[in-house]
A and B are shown apart, each in its own frame.
Chain A
Amino acid sequence: EAGVAQSPRYKIIEKRQSVAFWCNPISGHATLYWYQQILGQGPKLLIQFQNNGVVDDSQLPKDRFSAERLKGVDSTLKIQPAKLEDSAVYLCASSLERGNEQFFGPGTRLTVL
């Protein structure tokens, strides 16, 4: 069974630029999560989807971050414009249903200069 796929693995941009990350969850998984992991900290949930609907986006900085999962399968997370403090690893995870075990992708490491 293929795992959670993420791309790109690494991205370097300058502040005020835009960036997008892509996630393809495990086939059949209804729930998809985006986490932000700042160096030296544990992951923090940014947004949670159930199929193509948003369940929880309370921690998403909506003035600059957006995410979508239009067909209930893969998802895109966008930052526009990026700030220095957005430098982090962005992890995507999926689970069969809400509350089930989450499987994590390898993450995208973003560096904002």
Chain B
Amino acid sequence: AQSVTQLGSHVSVSEGALVLLRCNYSSSVPPYLFWYVQYPNQGLQLLLKYTSAATLVKGINGFEAEFKKSETSFHLTKPSAHMSDAAEYFCAVSSYNQGGKLIFGQGTELSVKP
């Protein structure tokens, strides 16, 4: 079975500071990993995805994530936070034999202070 754990339901950073959102996964088969962002009253938007190519994945809006198999982690980072980054972030796992089914973590709400 696959699962995702996001450490920290709320993260607060100052504008311009480093953003680090943590995600650990469990999977018995090679995983596909995703980060989604959700703004209030909107659907989810894909930030980036890992599908067994490069372990450092660059996404939209300056975000990136690194797949570390030894640590079963896929943490999301951004060097400098912007006010517009305030949102809910979800990490998700899937695999080839899951047919596209996504299993989500519980989410991390990011607040950005001016």
Binding site for B on A (CB under 8 A): 4, 31, 33, 40-45, 48, 50, 55-56, 91, 93, 95, 97-102, 104-107, 109
Chain B nearest CB from A94 CB (Å) reads: 10
When chains A and B are docked, how far (Å) is the Cα of A53 from the Cα of B32? 24
- Judge whether A42 and B106 touch: CB under 8 Å: yes
- Judge whether A107 and B104 touch: CB under 8 Å: no
Chain B nearest CB from A107 CB (Å) reads: 6
Nearest opposing residue in chain A for B4, CB measure: A42
Q: How many A-B residue pairs have CB under 8 A?
A: 63
B20 within 8 A of A: no
12 pairs of residues in contact across A and B, judged by CB atoms under 8 Å: A33-B100, A41-B106, A41-B107, A42-B92, A42-B105, A48-B100, A56-B101, A98-B99, A101-B49, A104-B45, A106-B41, A107-B42
Chain B nearest CB from A54 CB (Å) reads: 12
CB-CB < 8 A to A95: which residues of B? 100
- Judge whether B100 and A42 touch: CB under 8 Å: no
